[in-house]
Structure 1
Amino acid sequence: MTYKDIFISIAVMNDLSPTRLPLATSQMVIALKAAAEPTRLRILLLLTSGELNVKDLTQILGQSQPRLSRHLKLLVEAGLIERIREGSWVYFHLSDRTANGRLASVLLAMADLNDPIVIRDRERAEHLKRDREAIAQQYFERHASDWDQIRSLHVAEAEVEAAMSEALGPAPIEFLVDLGTGTGRTLELLAERYQRAVGIDINQAMLAYARSKIDNAGLRNAQVRHGDIYNLALMPDEADVVVMHQILHYLSDPQRALDEAARILRPGGRLLIVDFAPHELEFLRDHAHERLGIGTDTMTNWLADSGLKPVTTRHLPPSPQHGDKTDNLTVSLWLAEKSEAA
């Protein structure tokens, strides 16, 4: 290590970080060296606005894939960014779990965003995201009529969302996982509550739409991931809150999905489930509904088998619409907790 390296590290530790990052000088030097290259610094600045893959970066920066892959590898090894595989794609984002990632955020906050190169990169990235959003929006519009038809059969979404927020209470959430995230609406709804969140879905088109919504909403502490609800790529006891909003009735094996949700919950963590109460609308099977609602007794047994204890249950009955016509889908909310002794 040179005297210059030591000086830079000490300067960053003393002057840039009010929270005194718990980072050894040697680690800081590795991080600073990784960031101290024009292309890598441009990559880091681009990632402050959301996730990108290698193809995105080649289009924005006008550099070859091998060269950018090398830069990304160095940034990952330095702990400044993380890579997440999504099918055949690999997305990169600023690390929010490592001290080096937090150091990167401190450094990037000092960057001059009016630099012509930075402005050009940002404009290209925005153009790319608009194209991606347009493609995702087309998918959403093709399927919107199905969702609108189902929404018309139950209480207004605003009432459901208010009940979700009330069920979780006002306490802050360190890490939230939204299983079957769909359009990412739950990540938006609870954005003021969590420090970090990830939404998981198996549908690539829906993920693209959710990602564009999250980017547009400026939710830098939320991400979406491609994943299997039966086999989550998350560590045990990692999540403080797991949400399963209108997903269980699509599944052939809800118990297995609940087992996975319980596995990733920390002891004392909470699971919020929103789904339909039992009904007789057979036509919904044409919309891939495996189950025509879920009864509270059934849910209680599932939760117990997954090692979860029911805390509260609430039912939102349908409200009259279109004159005297009463729709017949009741939305149920179940809040459960993982035992502290688990």
Structure 2
Amino acid sequence: MRQLLKGLQAIAETTRLRILSLCAHSDLTVSELVTILEQSQPRVSRHLKLLMEAGVLERSQEGNWAYYRVSESGRGAELARQVIDLLNDDDPETAKDLLRLEEVKEARASRAMEYFRRNADQWDRIRSLHVDALRIEDTLVTGLMRESVERLLDLGTGTGRLLELLAPHVKEAVGLDTSREMLAVAEKNLEDKEELSSVTQLRHGDIHHLPFVDHRFDAATLHMVLHYLHDPRTCMIETGRVLAPNGRLVIIDFAPHSMESLREDHAHVWLGFDDDQIEQLAAAGGMTCEDVTSLSGGELTVRVWWLRKK
């Protein structure tokens, strides 16, 4: 009863209820909440402290940045979900907050897109700065082709390198990216390979809202993409939706590290992932992690997680 009362007392205040609503839509930093709520940083921080003490919000530290999200487990999480279900996005105050939230998300996307525009022509070089790309590619192709793949989806396809490697082994390969500059590079890389033209397709779209019907693909890849996403959970839910039952997802990304320069210079949002984080994300998409491969590469370690849809 004490825990329930603590949660109710924490939520039963206008600003804290607004914060709970916003964090139900996206993981947010203190500065982003300050922008949306138009309140001082100390005041917002005090509200966040109370919500965390009540167990309805949790904090994830990523280098110098901290993100706040609705708790995923515990009594506080259960209470938060029930309150969120009662909220109405059409409420004038809530609608105003969500409009500002979209502006914050657009600012994030603009920063990332500017980075992609500057680096589209050298993306493969940047990807291989810290690990041997050939080792990753060999591990991926060998592991994925142990089972038959007919329809493959490459999420965040970038320059289309994985399509070049995997398309010869499948009946249909689709590459999706939010950057038209990246897709232009991928199209150029693939256009001279006539043997791939009949099985490959490039699509412009949002990785968080995939433009495909349910259960369309029996395999998907996320190659050095997850660390750029502000909302990896939604990406995993959407990926699970478009995967057929027993379909597989291969995630290639960095193990946890402390190279803050990758965030500052290369727009990384997450400084790597541990196995527990990937398992939680997999569960959100209805998947389980079957195996993990580690590849050392200088200062950084790359991991390959092999997931399967239940």
State the TM-score bracket (shorter-chain normalisation). 0.5 to 0.7
**What does 1:181-260 correspond to in 2, within 5 Å?**
181-218=157-194, 219-220=196-197, 221-260=199-238
| Structure 2 counterpart of 1:213, one-letter code | N
Q: Which residue of 2 aligns with 1:298?
A: 277
| Structure 1 counterpart of 2:250, one-letter code | L
Per-residue Cα deviation, 1:115-156 (whole angstroms, up to 9, x for no partner):
xxxxxxxxxxxxxxxxxxxxxxxx9885556763552322x1
In the TM superposition, residue 305 of structure 1 has moved relative to its aligned partner by 2.1
2:171 alignment partner, SS class: strand
- Paired with 1:146 and 1:239, the residues of 2 have a C-alpha distance of 26
Per-residue Cα deviation, 1:284-331 (whole angstroms, up to 9, x for no partner):
01211000001111101111122101111111012xxxxxxxx21111
- Paired with 1:149 and 1:210, the residues of 2 have a C-alpha distance of 16
Distance 1:189 1:196, change over 3 A: same
| Structure 2 counterpart of 1:309, one-letter code | T
- Paired with 1:194 and 1:215, the residues of 2 have a C-alpha distance of 18
Q: Note if contact 1:183-1:209 (Cα within 8 Å) is conserved in structure 2.
A: yes
In the TM superposition, residue 273 of structure 1 has moved relative to its aligned partner by 0.5
Q: Note if contact 2:123-2:159 (Cα within 8 Å) is conserved in structure 1.
A: no
- RMSD (CA atoms): 1.8
1:233 alignment partner, SS class: coil
- Paired with 1:224 and 1:233, the residues of 2 have a C-alpha distance of 12
Q: Which residue of 2 aligns with 1:160?
A: 136
Distance 1:209 1:145, change over 3 A: closer
Q: Note if contact 1:240-1:270 (Cα within 8 Å) is conserved in structure 2.
A: yes
- Paired with 2:227 and 2:185, the residues of 1 have a C-alpha distance of 22
**What does 1:1-342 correspond to in 2, within 5 Å?**
143=120, 148=125, 151-154=128-131, 156-218=132-194, 219-220=196-197, 221-286=199-264, 287-318=266-297, 327-339=298-310
Distance 1:199 1:147, change over 3 A: closer
Aligned length: 192
In the TM superposition, residue 207 of structure 1 has moved relative to its aligned partner by 0.4
1:162 alignment partner, SS class: helix
Q: TM-score, normalised by structure 2?
A: 0.59
Unaligned runs of 5+ in 2: 1-115
Per-residue Cα deviation, 1:251-272 (whole angstroms, up to 9, x for no partner):
0010110111000000011001
Distance 1:254 1:176, change over 3 A: same
Q: Note if contact 2:251-2:306 (Cα within 8 Å) is conserved in structure 1.
A: yes
1:302 alignment partner, SS class: helix
In the TM superposition, residue 193 of structure 1 has moved relative to its aligned partner by 1.2
Unaligned runs of 5+ in 1: 1-138, 319-326
Q: TM-score, normalised by structure 1?
A: 0.54
Q: Percent identity?
A: 37
Q: Note if contact 2:222-2:252 (Cα within 8 Å) is conserved in structure 1.
A: yes
Distance 1:283 1:238, change over 3 A: same
- Paired with 1:176 and 1:306, the residues of 2 have a C-alpha distance of 17
Q: Which residue of 2 aligns with 1:89?
A: none
